[in-house]
Structure 1
């Protein structure tokens, strides 16, 4: 990643460095997924051989080979995920931007928090309810303005999330992954090792209504607490920054649903 950024610096490609960097990280993410699928096939083969094991030497050798292939696949997957996360961390340090997998879930390593799709989380909650049991941990949802990305905004977002983590140590953070304040929240989750649930806005499917449809997914997660930052807290932007409609909508709907809502405000003097 460092060599890529150095190679394109001060060239025409510098304007598209975000696309190139994310493509590099995404390539390792895709490779990890392919390796995982191959390892799953090896495990299926291993289970089949174990079920039909007849005690013969040939069957024993075949079972050992399938077991070794499954184990090597798991090791390779973990190694590629570590490379992916190292590239992601390097990109964040160099640019301040946070990479998130556009499709599928992202299993965490020692470098970062786990990431799962909101749809999968919603399904898990519904499955748990049908089994009369509770989901793994409380969800804290955050919706913020794309323009709220100043140092003051970052400080107050981190303060709010640190408060939430103290209140619910096993929390997961749910957000849409939009730029600005929500990217700052994702960066916090990476630093703290907090599980991330992404409800992305699907503009291809829903057009201009996509941010509000993403709110539907966040609310369907039944969050324990909803945090919002509807506009930048930076005084120099006062009068220039309008409240962010989707964040206002999320706050209103959360309160209408009887969910705990906490707006993020300027630090008291």
Structure 2
């Protein structure tokens, strides 16, 4: 039997479209380079981890780290909305343009505001993603946005909410839009988080990416094996779709409702890891939601591939 070997290296970025865009702003003030913004994100997270490690605040490390990353994510969203409003103003001014000097100045100002907002949004995303990368390196934890979509940079994969992706699929059927490439769904046991588990998960995901190079990875973002899958997506720059379990709305049924969203994405294949492949783990009980996804895949005529330990 042939097995695939996981690769952990990310392709370095050799040039910067961001720096080209800042130069095109024609702002007399200097603009931070992409390298400087990435270094800022890394430095902020490194300083936070260094200060709180081995102190009484260490118990709150995850909350503080996620709050720092989330602050730049929130700022990017707010600035992007302002840029969108400027674009709306551009369209109105362009439609009603009367050729006057005043109208021309107003249109130029709206255009400059929109372009500057786009650059500022990208700057926040660069800081956010660099801090997120440093957070993962320092703690092994993976940050994902609590809500909404997230565009990817060269450091991390883009992230979509499952409901948004499902709407896009329905729009595609109606001929309105194309959501992109094929979806690969994955559910795994929270306790499957050893190095052996990571190897088998990465093997399966690397195989899937060979089959569907433009794939998106869909998962619920639960702890353990699904966090390992998210880490793989970030390293590979693979788009991520999160079908989060909503326990407030659905209670104990939430993990299974999340599976319904995964199935609604019409995945090419559903990968499942029902328990750790590490035989030294005492708890080898199958994880119900992962079993359920495999069952629902078969019921809907979809391909299901269970992830198992390597043959002895």
Q: Into which bin does the TM-score normalised by the smaller protein fall?
A: over 0.9
The change in CA–CA distance for 1:101 and 1:132 in structure 2 (over 3 A counts) is closer
1:183-215 per-residue CA deviation (whole Å, 9 max, x = no partner) reads: 000000001111101000011111111100000
Residue of structure 2 equivalent to 1:108: 152
Number of residue equivalences:
268
Cα separation, 2, equivalents of 1:42 and 1:132: 26
Cross-structure match for 1:122: 166
Normalising by the residue count of structure 1, what TM-score does the alignment of the two structures yield? 0.97
CA distance in 2, matches of 1:255, 1:157: 21
- Does residue 1:260 correspond to 2:303, yes or no? yes
Q: CA deviation at 1:133?
A: 7.8
State which of 232, 250, 253 in structure 1 corresponds to 2:293: 250
Q: State yes or no: 1:88 paired with 2:129.
A: no
Where do residues 178-217 of structure 1 align in structure 2 (5 Å cutoff)?
178-217=222-261
Corresponding residue for 2:119?
75
RMSD (Å), alpha carbons: 1.1
Preserved contact between residue 165 and residue 179 of structure 2 (Cα < 8 Å): no
Deviations 1:30-79 (A, max 9, x none): 00000000000011111111111111111111111111000000000000
Matched residue, 2:186: 142
Distance 1:24 1:135 in 2: 31
1:114–1:133 Cα change, 3 Å: closer
Shift of 1:240: 2.1
Question: Who is 1:2 aligned against?
Answer: 46
Is the 1:147–1:241 Cα contact (8 Å) retained in structure 2? no
Note the C-alpha offset of 1:132: 8.4
Q: Any unmatched runs of 5+ in structure 1? A: none
Runs (5+) with no aligned partner, structure 2: 1-44
- Measured in 1, the distance between the counterparts of 2:227 and 2:245 equals 14
SS in 2 for 1:253: helix
Whether the 8 Å CA contact 2:168–2:177 is kept in 1: the answer is no
- Correspondences of 1:19-30 after superposition (within 5 Å): 19-30=63-74
* Larger deviation, residues 129-138 vs 223-232: 129-138
Match of 1:48 among 70, 79, 92: 92
TM-score (norm 2): 0.84
